[in-house]
Amino acid sequence: MDIINITCAEIQTPVGFLYVILPVIINQTNNPDCEQSWFSEDGRLIADPSDPQNLIDPATAVKSDRLFTSHCVNMKHEIICDSPDGSHYSYKIMFRVTNETNISGPTQTPESNQLLWIFALVIVVLLIMFLICFLLRKRKTR
């Protein structure tokens, strides 16, 4: 499996995010015995170029050499070829994206999401403690 590391800024277009398969790869496998599929990071099929009307979020458009998505996520492209002579060929590409400008973007990791929740909880607890201290102090001055 080939891994392509890119940033969201590199694949962002006015209509979404564009994932492109190199023409040399498509030309090697461009025959009727080959099937292509796009998968999300968790392994769900989200787009099939042979059925461009049947797209699952975040996919918005698909062709044999490209996929458009509504947001920047890790993607996997797979080509499987079975020939009448029994030979089998498969080629997988993993697109790993990083979002360097938006900390709360779709590429946020579960660990950083957990840290944000903990930070929010600490802030809420501190505010409650401040409010209690303020009310107790106000009561003593009466």
- Per-residue confidence at 109, pLDDT binned at 50, 70, 90? low
Q: Give the predicted TM-score (pTM) of the model.
A: 0.64
- Whether 98 and 1 have beta carbons less than 8 Å apart is answered as no
> Can you tell me the distance from the alpha carbon of 67 to that of 13, in angstroms, rounded to the nearest whole number?
12
Q: How many residues does the chain have?
A: 142
Mean per-residue pLDDT of the chain:
83
CATH classification code of 2-102: 2.60.40
pLDDT one-digit tens code per residue, 71-105: 899 999 998 887 777 778 788 999 999 887 554 45
User: What is the Rg, in whole angstroms, of the alpha carbon atoms belonging to the chain?
Assistant: 24
> Can you tell me the distance from the alpha carbon of 51 to that of 37, in angstroms, rounded to the nearest whole number?
10
